[in-house]
Structure 1
Amino acid sequence: MTLPKLFSGAAAAVLLGLATLGTSSCSKDFIDLNDPTRLPSADGYTDSLSIVTGVTAAYSSLQDLYGNGSNRGLFVFAEIPSDNSFTVSSGELLNEFNDFTLASSNPRLQSQWLVTYRAIARCNVILSRAGGVKLTAATRNRYFGEVRFIRALAYFNAVRIWGDIPLVTTEITSIADAYQFGRMPKEQVYALIEEDLAFAENNLPATQTGVNLGRITKGAAQGLMGKVLLTQKKYDAAATALKKVIDGNAYALQAAYANIFLTTNELNTEILAAARYTKGGLGIGSSFSTWFMPVLPAAVALTVNGNVGTGQQFNSVDPDLVAAFTASGSSDVRAAASFGASTVGTLTQYYTKKYSDVPTSAFDAENDWIILRYADVLLMYAEAVNEQGGPNALALDAVNRVIRRSRNLPVATPAPAVDLPAAISRADLTTRLELERRLELNFEGHRWFDLVRTDRAIPVMNAFFTRTGSASRLDNNKLVFPLPIQEIQTNPILTQNTGYN
């Protein structure tokens, strides 16, 4: 059992993500236990400035959730277990995710759990305290909408990782209270997520500009709602939510696929939501360009990352994904924008180019993590419509726009040579959507969850293991990950997922 550690002053501020904000609103001591669902919050959220600071702290949680110095982030759960990626990093125990040999003591489970419930705790503090602070109703509800989106996102990732999880919706002020939180059925978790996103949709602006650029919008709430509903197989409701994004005309596909990922083109017209990072020695740069790179020859490293540090091969492009792009044809421009290759002797290593940047120093790059983008919305909409009995013209247009862009064609102009036929069957469109999502969204944190959502993880991954000569095999128990053993040892009412110790 992990003993509690007492933090105070600046240490507490760093833990809450507030140290760089120049405020003393969270200066009192608090206890940070191993399970942050038991994190009693600091006092001090008593005026509008402290609420603004708290909302900023909630946004900083996105870096924790998607990857920073202390936590590797969602790619560990969303890409490494899939047929897109592999890892050569056994020292980090990432190989356990790759091979489906996970032990509940794996530190990556614990770190993701910690940052998830820390994010939720930050949101709950604002929701508990801001009601008593003098703010206009519109301002208060906008702040509430932003943090409820972040809370919904944290819970959505968590419920897809672990299944049934503790559901904490209020500020926890005592350790005794914290021990009351056991695992709740995932249906109840999804109900809260839907409530949070509905509130966010109703209280957030359609666009953000100027200094507010990058904050959560109505469209982001609608898009995430669509993904949440699709995950639950609520196809009609999902199609309705996603069509709101399409009809809102606030987003558009970038003309060139490669432009989506340029650090000089962040928050472009395709981005609904992103975890933001900034390089320059500020402590808020991204590590992906270092984590995902292979160990490159000096000449290649100089071109790819300015020869700053060496790659760590945490999340490498699997040759199976390369083969899928090859089968897609040489006209598919997504291949060149998605991965590069380095050959040393007879060994060819593939690496993702979506996070390429020249860092200020190792682990200090500019790349944002794109949480949700418009191409994802279009493909999800087509899926939601197709699952209700087959495609219609709007659903086909949605996926055809993505396909045309992949061939460097104008997205709004019919292209008979590449467009899907109007008479395509439901089964054939299902197969094509699975492929398009894999190619379009590779290494963006969707592949594993897509396979689980569509009930395709077991057949796809076992076929992959057979094809690659792996001894690994997937069964129903491994569609969720084990709860961290530290949490079960600390909180006696938590139980483990079936098939794990």
Structure 2
Amino acid sequence: MTINKLFSGAAVATLLGLGTLSTTSCQKEFIDLNDPTRIPTTESYTDSLSILNGVTAAYSSMQDLYGRSGGSRGMFIFGEIPSDNSYTVTSGERLNEFNDFSLFSDNPNIQNHWLFTYRAIARCNIILSRAGGVKLTDATRNRYYAEVRFLRALTYFNAVRIWGAVPLVTQEIQAIPDAYQYGRAPITEVYAQIEKDLDFAEKNLPVTYTGTTNLGRATKGAATALFGKVLLTQNKYQAAADKLLPLVTGTTYALQATYANIFATSNEMNSEIIFAARYTKGTLGLGSAFTTWFMPAYTTAQSTSLLGAAYTGQQFNTVDPDLIAAFTASGPTDVRAATSYVLPAGAATSLGYYTKKYIDTPTSATDAENDWIVLRHADVLLMYAEAVNEATGPSAAALTAINQVIRRSRGLPVGTANATVDLPSTTTADVLRTRLELERRLELNFEGHRWFDLVRTGRAIPVMNAFFARNNSTVRITANNLLFPIPVQEINTNPILTQNDGYK
């Protein structure tokens, strides 16, 4: 191997942690940047402040993973665009390859997401490697460890769902040749490490934090919810039900009374939100781009009517008519529809509908306030109902959980039984399974869940091929399309990496 090739892989640098860690301080919350100070990861961590800054830098990686201008396009290109919820108009970004399953391994979005994935993991590993040498109380040290282990688990969970087997790096890599020892670990090993990280996080994270300055930090509930989703994804149904039950019966999290309030920028980190990638608009480069990324190419007047100012939509993630048809079929009383899609006055349907979940008035085209919600209570209720149904059948507990979500979708009090909309006690396992698939689609649309839900339940191939047939498309998917390609740049740099079947 030539010395030029040895240094050619950007991912190797991220494995080593040779990027920079952003330091942050807070007005709105702890991830706000107050200055452009950077701490090179090669510096020693000698005090509690440097460790805290390193932990905060690990949180900032979530912005790159869930979408930031200048970073990756985010998780929506994996969780929504390949599904029947969304399509992209833009071809210059090569997002269309996700839309019609024509991906090539040199797609820059795949490469960017791989790089930011391993940058996030490297930042977590650095803290886990170095915090032991810094004077901290055991409780503080373990909390920092728990925070970054939660973040590492979340990052690996996304990675294993995107690529399947991936390099499993759990320690800081300090020498470049060592980075080339990591091939693709079996999926079972990746999941075992995720569970191990979440077990530690769950035991050492607080239920809540004091003060608004810590809003957005991982909590015990976030670790539990993610753990439940990880178990459910592996078809460990009874274990998932047992894990999620304390969140279902507890009082730490609760459904918002009004669906639209979940997503209001004036109501961030509300009672329903368990974990989110946080953004702050302003002049600090920490705003979110979803507002204009997702908006179709409306006229100046149309975009102003939506956002309060004129911006050009980039059409990265447009509401598919199939999702609108699903809402129409669910009935006119489904209040979620008004928040899920909108067409401005005077806009032709050919321009495309726009999701209202990310509406804000940006300070610039890619600088809005909207957080990306990763886990929320409605998701937990639906996961719990699914886990119970698959483990033991449609019990009263499972029906109670899904009925709360259904009642809210009709604008009804969630805690009061309603014979008109509730699923009855005679509901069969098959009926509940089908209804859960629909409720997850309608409840969680444009939040990055649909494609992964279809893959997890074994429904991606029949659902998507039926979708393509309805739309007179010649596209059809096979098992090879259930994973995305490993970036060819990484394979060229590290020859022990292999490609997923069906990709060049």
Could you say which TM-score interval applies, normalised by the shorter chain?
over 0.9
Contact 1:25–1:44, Cα closer than 8 Å, also in 2? no
Counterpart position of 1:375: 378
Displacement of 1:200: 0.6
Q: Deviations over 1:20-55 (max 9, x none)?
A: 56697834xxxxxxxxxxxxx413212111100000
Structure 1 position 365 matched with structure 2 position 368: yes
Equivalent position to 1:415, from 415, 418, 421: 418
Q: Distance in 1 between matches of 2:335 and 2:349?
A: 26
- Given residue 476 of structure 2, which amino acid in structure 1 is its aligned partner? R
The answer on whether the counterparts of 1:308 and 1:362 sit within 8 Å (CA) in structure 2 is: no
Matches within 5 A, 1:333-352: 333-342=335-344, 344=347, 347-352=350-355
Give the share of equivalent positions with the same residue, in percent.
Answer: 66
- In structure 2, what residue type is equivalent to 1:491? N
The superposition leaves residues 203-227 of structure 1 with CA deviations (integer Å, 9 ceiling, x where unpaired) of 0111123121221110000000000
Contact 1:78 1:449 in 2 (8 A): yes
- Partner of 1:3 in structure 2? 8
Asked whether the 8 Å contact 2:231–2:237 carries over to 1, the reply is yes
- Structure 2 portions without partners, runs of 5+: 25-32
For the structure 1 residues 286 and 183, does the alpha-carbon distance in structure 2 shift closer, same or farther, using more than 3 Å as the test?
A: same
- In the other structure, the counterpart of 1:448 is 451
Letter in 2 for 1:488: I
Range 208-217 or range 377-386, more displaced: 208-217
Deviation, 1:309, is: 2.5
Output the CA distance in 1 between the equivalents of 2:166 and 2:50: 30
Q: In structure 2, do the counterparts of structure 1 residues 344 and 268 end up closer, same or farther at CA, with 3 Å as the change threshold?
A: closer
What amino acid does structure 1 have at the position aligned with 2:125?
N
- 1:92 alignment partner in structure 2: 93
Q: Partner of 1:16 in structure 2?
A: 21
In the other structure, the counterpart of 2:59 is: 59
Q: What is the deviation of 1:297?
A: 1.9
| Match of residue 26 from structure 1 | 39
Residues 237 and 435 of structure 1: is their aligned pair in 2 closer, same or farther, counting only changes over 3 Å? same
- Per-residue deviation, residues 38-75 of structure 1 (Å, max 9, x unmatched): xxx41321211110000000010110110001210100
Q: Write the letter of the residue equivalent to 1:3.
A: S
Q: Which one of the candidate residues 390, 396, 401 is aligned to 2:399?
A: 396
For 1:24 and 1:417, how far apart are their aligned partners in 2? 58
Q: Give the structure 1 partner of residue 29 of structure 2.
A: none
Report if the CA contact (8 A) 2:22-2:39 is conserved. Answer: no
Partner of 1:307: 309
In 2, Cα distance between the equivalents of 1:15 and 1:374? 34
Report the RMSD for the aligned CA atoms in angstroms: 1.8
The answer to whether the 8 Å contact 2:147/2:218 transfers is yes
Secondary structure of 1:183 counterpart: coil
Does the CA contact (< 8 Å) of 1:21 and 1:53 recur in 2?
Answer: no
Structure 2: distance between partners of 1:184 and 1:253: 38
1:228 is the counterpart of 2:233: no
Aligned mates of 1:418, 1:68 — CA distance in 2: 40
Give distance in 1, aligned partners of 2:418 and 2:131.
52
Matched residue, 2:273: 271
The aligned counterpart of 2:138 is 137
Name the amino acid aligned to 1:326: T
Q: Which amino acid aligns with 2:209?
A: Q
d(CA) in 2 for partners of 1:217, 1:487? 34
The question of whether the paired residues in 2 share the 8 Å contact of 1:389 and 1:426 is answered with no
1:386-421 deviations in whole A, cap 9, x for unaligned?
A: 001311111100000000000000000000000001
1:175 aligned onto 2:160? no
Name the count of aligned residue pairs.
Answer: 484
Structure 1 unaligned residues grouped into runs of 5+ = 28-40
CA positional deviation for 1:434: 0.1
Contact kept? 2:294, 2:317, Cα under 8 Å: yes
Contact 1:25 1:43 in 2 (8 A): no
Q: In structure 2, what residue type is equivalent to 1:306?
A: G
Aligned to 2:47: 47
In structure 2, the CA distance between the partners of 1:228 and 1:137, relative to structure 1 (3 Å rule), is: same
Amino acid corresponding to residue 224 of structure 1 in structure 2: L
Is the 2:240–2:387 contact (alpha carbons within 8 Å) kept by the matching residues of 1? Answer: yes
